[in-house]
Amino acid sequence: MTRGLHASAAGLLRGCLAIGSAVVLCVHLVLFVPGLGLGLVFLLPWPIVRMRRFTDLVRGVCGGIPRPYRDRPGLPVPEPDGRYRHDRRLYRSPFWPRQLRYLDWALGDPATWRDVGWLLTNPVVGGVLGFGPAALVVGGLAVATSGGSAWWIPVGLGLVGLGLAVAPAAARAHDAWTVRMLAPRTGLGSLKVWVGRRFFTLTRLAALGGLTVVSAALAVLAFAAFSMFAIGIVGAVPESASAVRRFTTLRRRLADEWSGVPIPTPYRPEPELPRRRPDGLYAVGDALYKTKGWTRFFQRLDWIWNDPATWRDLVWTFTDPIVGGALVLASVGAVGYGLIGLAIPGLARLARLENPPALAVLTDRPVLALLAGLALVVAGAAVAPAALRLHGRWTAVLLAPTAKARLALRVEQLTESRADATSAQAAELRRIERDLHDGAQGRLVAVGLALGAVEALIETDPAAARRLVADARESTARALAELRDLVRGVRPPVLAERGLVDAVRALALDSPVPATVSADLAGRAPEPVEAAVYFAVSEALVNAAKHAAASAVTIDFSHAAGVLTAAVADDGRGGADPARGSGLRGMRHRLSAFDGTVRVVSPAGGPTVVTLEVPCALSSPRTSTSSGRGSSSS
Amino acid sequence: MRVVLAEDLYLLREGLKQLLTAHGFDIVAAVDNGPDLLRALLDERPDVAVVDVRLPPTQTDEGLQAALAARRQVPGLPVLVLSQHVERLYARELLADGTGGVGYLLKDRVFNAEQFVDAVRRVAAGGTAMDPDVIAKLFASSDPTVGRLTPREREVLELMAEGRSNAAIGQRLFLSESAVGKHTASIFGKLGLAVSDDDNRRVLAVLAFLDARTG
């Protein structure tokens, strides 16, 4: 009883809000007239901001609904030349940009228009829901006490009871409706995102479905090529296999980008032309060939024929139309059929259009057909992501390298990187030997000679002896300087003493281009990795200074998912070609020994970003170097 | 003058001992590792310490760390750091507290006993002694602050960083002391150091210089 009374009192308050909103609406309609009617748009924000005061009040009354508005824009910040920018125009004074931003803020906020929508509808909705229960109570009392027939008394009391009973529900309904209109929007937005994503996924699935046609065509082509091979025409096999490979390479990429299933390339590397034998012939397997052209042709044939990936590709071209097609049918097909086969004809029949499209099933139950169609659409859309993922997985089954092929590939890589590492090491040792031989060793010999001479002269000619000693000292200093440079090139002292990050900081300090170093590392990488990354970063820094004409470089270290990443970014002119330039190749060689990779992104006009990645674990910090100074710059 | 010496190579340690004793220094402790050094610095409170950067047990920058730790507890404790290589990074860390009494030299500099001993005395007196190589490196990099200095001012700053007095700088560059004074004032101005009588301004100038590209 008291609850009902309370609720009807609350309803009265809400009813008053409805009256208030009607008043505010009328006032604003008047205020909007010059703004909208005469095109004086700059008059619009003020009443909108006033209106928000009222809706804020409503939000408070209806249980503290959060405000949905965007933040008010800050003051315009001048450009370097002192002018102010708004959109694609520059202004000399901040006045207009400020006004325009204000206007954008007030008119561009969807919450503004929902406020207006609420004001338009609330006089009715709020009025009914707010005053309704109270009206029932008052009306019931009036009927009961009107004193007509005795029968009116129970009717009146019944009305009063009804009013009290519906009062809480009416207040709740009013608040829910107000929340829907005046609170920050979430529900519909996420639905929109859902629909958008599904649509995207379905489009991709449809595209994959279209590509199955290519698969089928290639399968027929390959079948023809191998049939010709059977009757002795061998030329078509490598060509058809190459075509299939190009297509499967594309599909691998799509599986990665669309389905999120990365598939490595399974093919063996193409062999190089064999060295010419002493008798002038080329050997491929057991056969000998005279000319380069034929050698290459048969080598290619041999390469493609003996690669299991060729046959797996082939099997895939035959099966993709079936398996891939089935997955596409289950999602895109369901949506398409549900929409075109059921929902639209059902709707057309309900709308009593002339010559409605035919319904295959449920011909005389259009409502049921419409519902079934919509259910199919939703179901198809719902399974689309799973279908896309499954499609990728299925592609991987045949197009990914087998365990054996992966191992073979790995062995190939390791052989190559070992060769690189050993040759790099040999070159390094050669350089050190030469430097020592030409430098420090020679100088020490000179010092020894000088000291020997001093020994002989010290009694007879002290002045000459002193001169020789001074020379010897000079030679030692030179030798030390040379050794210092040598050591720097072998294992930089700061790297040994402080580790990678501080070593790169020291490097950045000495760099001709201002460089900033930031690091987020919880420990130290293994020593050889640190050295490799250090020298690679040093190379990148040199390149930024020398080739990119950069004016600032940032170097960032991070470690995530077992991979140490160093990103060297400069603001130079870009256009670095990773294929050319020995610097980048040197970096690659250095890191390949640790399975590290170098990525260079360098569009013409810059900026260039060189990313070094090396898989490795970090040990717990041994020194205090990276703590406290972790993000300092230099 | 009481000296604590830290050097792990026996020959060099004995050589330095002899050299310093011959010039009237009193070696109160000669140690060969980081922990011993820190203990000696805090127990003996020497007038000056001569410290090798790289020391056992870790063979990393243990000597530098010990020196910095001791200076955190005893601000201004004069320390001359010796190393096989000089880094701006380390020089900055040594100067960072701005209290002076810091030296950072290549080990080669002990060849010239007079100059070396002079540097030790300057550090003991609260001045600085930066290795010319540190300064040379700075000029090699394209520092905007350096760019604003005239060649003569660079020379003056270089010698100032080495820790020389205006009189000594004047002698080196064949300038009058007052001319050197003008140059130093101009350098302080360009580095944005307030005018004050504080001797530490020279240290701050070097620090600002080494720090020029921070931030």
pLDDT band (50, 70, 90) for residue B160:
confident
* Chain A residues whose C-beta sits inside 8 Å of any chain B C-beta: 473, 476-477, 480-481, 484, 487-488, 493-494, 496-498, 502, 505-506, 509-514, 622-624, 632-634
Determine the Cα–Cα distance for residues B51 and B34; give it in Å rounded to an integer: 10
Determine the Cα–Cα distance for residues A119 and A66; give it in Å rounded to an integer: 18
B-chain CB neighbours of A484 within 8 Å are 84-85
pLDDT of residue A581: 65
Q: Name the residue facing B60 among A473, A506, A623 (closest C-beta).
A: A623
Calculate how close chain B gets to A254, using CA atoms only, in Å: 44
Q: Name the residue facing B89 among A476, A496, A505 (closest C-beta).
A: A505
- Report CB contact under 8 Å: B89, A506: yes
pLDDT of residue B146: 65
Give the H/E segment covering residue B128. Answer: strand B128-130
- Report CB contact under 8 Å: B88, A480: no
Provide the angle, in degrees to the nearest 10, between the axes of the packed helices A462-490 and A403-436.
170
- Both tokens of B23, joined, read 């010039």
What is the DSSP-derived secondary structure letter of residue A608? E
Helices and strands per DSSP (H, E), number in chain B: 11, 6
- Both tokens of B86, joined, read 């000089």
Instruction: Give backbone dihedrals phi and psi of A250, rounded to 5 degrees, phi first.
Output: -60, -45
- Both tokens of A357, joined, read 């499209």
Q: What is the mean pLDDT of residues A398-422?
A: 85
- Report CB contact under 8 Å: B60, A480: no
B-chain CB neighbours of A506 within 8 Å are 87-89
pLDDT higher than threshold 90 for residue A306:
no
> Lowest-confidence range among A196-200, A334-338, A518-522?
A196-200
Average pLDDT of chain B is 84
pLDDT band (50, 70, 90) for residue A58:
confident
Rounded alpha-carbon distances, angstroms, from residue A66 to A59, A69, A180, A181, B21 = 7, 9, 11, 12, 80
What is the DSSP-derived secondary structure letter of residue A42? G
pLDDT of residue B194: 57
Determine the Cα–Cα distance for residues A23 and A46; give it in Å rounded to an integer: 17
Q: Nearest-CA neighbor of A630 among A547, A557, A552?
A: A557
Calculate how close chain B gets to A82, using CA atoms only, in Å: 24
Average pLDDT of chain A is 83
pLDDT higher than threshold 60 for residue B165:
yes
- Report CB contact under 8 Å: A493, B87: yes
pLDDT band (50, 70, 90) for residue A70:
confident
Is residue A201 left, alpha or beta, with left meaning phi > 0 and alpha meaning psi from -120 to 50?
alpha
- Both tokens of A508, joined, read 């950045």
pLDDT higher than threshold 80 for residue A557:
yes
Q: Are A571 and A551 in contact (CB under 8 A)?
A: yes
A-chain CB neighbours of B89 within 8 Å are 494, 502, 505-506, 509, 634
Which residues partner with A91 through β-bridges?
Answer: A84
Residue B57 burial (CB count, 10 A)? 10
Write the pLDDT tens digit of every residue in A181-218.
Answer: 788 776 555 677 777 788 888 888 888 888 888 888 98
pLDDT of residue A199: 84
- Report CB contact under 8 Å: B213, A634: yes
- Both tokens of A614, joined, read 């090396």
Determine the Cα–Cα distance for residues A355 and A345; give it in Å rounded to an integer: 10
- Report CB contact under 8 Å: A480, B142: no
Calculate how close chain A gets to B211, using CA atoms only, in Å: 8
Write the pLDDT tens digit of every residue in A439-458.
Answer: 888 888 889 989 999 988 98
What is the DSSP-derived secondary structure letter of residue A100? H
pLDDT higher than threshold 50 for residue B213:
no
- Report CB contact under 8 Å: B142, A512: yes
pLDDT higher than threshold 60 for residue A266:
yes
- Report CB contact under 8 Å: A502, B89: yes
- Report CB contact under 8 Å: B111, A473: yes
B-chain CB neighbours of A633 within 8 Å are 214-215
- Report CB contact under 8 Å: A510, B140: yes
pLDDT higher than threshold 70 for residue B142:
no
Q: Nearest-CA neighbor of A127 among A43, A18, A31?
A: A18
- Both tokens of B212, joined, read 């020029």
pLDDT higher than threshold 50 for residue A308:
yes
A-chain CB neighbours of B61 within 8 Å are 497-498
Better pLDDT: B192 or A557: A557
- Which residue on chain B is closest to A492 by alpha carbon? B85
B-chain CB neighbours of A493 within 8 Å are 54, 83-85, 87
Give the H/E segment covering residue A557. Answer: strand A553-560
Residue A326 burial (CB count, 10 A)? 14
pLDDT higher than threshold 90 for residue B21:
yes
Q: E-assigned strands of B13-97?
A: 26-31, 48-52, 79-83
Q: Which of A443, A474, A507, A509 to mutate to test the interface with B (most CBs of B within 10 A)?
A: A509
> Lowest-confidence range among A405-419, A469-483, A526-540, A613-627?
A613-627
Residues 6+ apart with CB under 8 A from A384: A198, A201, A202, A205, A331, A332, A335
Give the H/E segment covering residue A204. Answer: helix A187-230
A:B CB pairs within 8 Å: 64
Write the pLDDT tens digit of every residue in A80-134.
Answer: 777 888 877 888 888 888 888 888 888 778 788 888 888 888 888 888 888 888 8
* Chain B residues whose C-beta sits inside 8 Å of any chain A C-beta: 53-54, 58-61, 65, 83-85, 87-89, 106-108, 111, 137, 140-142, 144, 213-215
pLDDT higher than threshold 50 for residue A290:
yes
Calculate how close chain B gets to A112, using CA atoms only, in Å: 43
- Which residue on chain A is closest to B53 by alpha carbon? A497
Q: Are B20 and B117 in contact (CB under 8 A)?
A: yes
Q: What burial class does residue B156 get, using C-beta atoms within 10 Å of its C-beta: 0-12 exposed, 13-18 middle, 19+ buried? A: buried
pLDDT higher than threshold 80 for residue A535:
yes
pLDDT of residue A621: 63
pLDDT band (50, 70, 90) for residue A623:
very low
pLDDT higher than threshold 80 for residue A135:
yes
